[in-house]
Structure 1
Amino acid sequence: MKRSDPIPTDKESFKSFSIDARDDPLLLTAEQVAKLLQVSKRTLWRLLSAGALPAPLRIGNSTRWGCQQIHHWIDAGCPSPSARENSTERKK
């Protein structure tokens, strides 16, 4: 997949969506994450404030999410914070 290719939105295409480190970024901007989730940037920030999203990385004044982190979170069904805590406790 090349940078110019759109992020797939249907479930079947998304399953075959692969990340080629040479072509795709390792970190996603808020705009890219919002587009992937099909929500507005404002809704993305609200979800983050509510603790519904994985925590982003801060690099200087920039906020970024790990591409694989977001994809794993989506693959897991976008679990809520309490569900993520429970799954972490079960692994211990």
Structure 2
Amino acid sequence: MAGPIKLQFEVTINEENVELLKSLLINRTSKPDYERRAENSRKAIFAGEVPPIDESLLVNSRELAEMLDLSERTIHSMWKKKEMPAPIRIGRAVRWVKEEMQAWVNHHCPPASEWNWPTSQ
């Protein structure tokens, strides 16, 4: 079997085709459409700033328990007794808004009946 074959040739194209070739090459090397749209959405949500990669807007009970240094069982107990803000449901998933929970802690963890997010100051 022979080694690689090297080819060298010269092509002359007009200005219009140069632009077409550039656009084809740029589109091949750039991110796919869905990735660009997702990135633009994330930037829009964070007012043009790139969001931290490891940050999420919502946390599950395990993550919340870690944040508050409590057990998941305590989190569920506090939620059922209305001692903390209620989570939101997305399908069957139960999640808390991370920013709300941070604000709740900063306001000394009032009972859910006294907590009014986001207007509590």
TM-score after normalising by structure 2: 0.51
* Structure 2 partner of 1:21: 51
Does residue 54 of structure 1 match 2:85?
yes
Listed one character per residue, the Cα deviations across residues 9-67 of structure 1 (whole Å, up to 9, x for unaligned) are xxxxxxxxxxx833200100110001111111111100000001111010011000011
- Counterpart residue number, 2:76: 45
The 1-side partners of 2:64 and 2:51 are apart by 17
1:34 pairs with one of 51, 56, 65: 65
Q: CA deviation at 1:76?
A: 0.5
TM-score (norm 1): 0.65
Aligned partner letter, 1:43: T
Q: Give the SS at the match of 1:42.
A: helix
Residues 1:65 and 1:82: Cα distance change in structure 2 (over 3 Å): closer
Q: Percent identity?
A: 29
CA distance in 2, matches of 1:65, 1:47: 13
Larger Rg: 2
RMSD of the TM alignment (CA)? 2.1
Distance 2:57 2:96 in 1: 9
1:80 to 108, 111, 117: 111
Distance 1:38 1:57 in 2: 21
SS at match of 2:94: strand
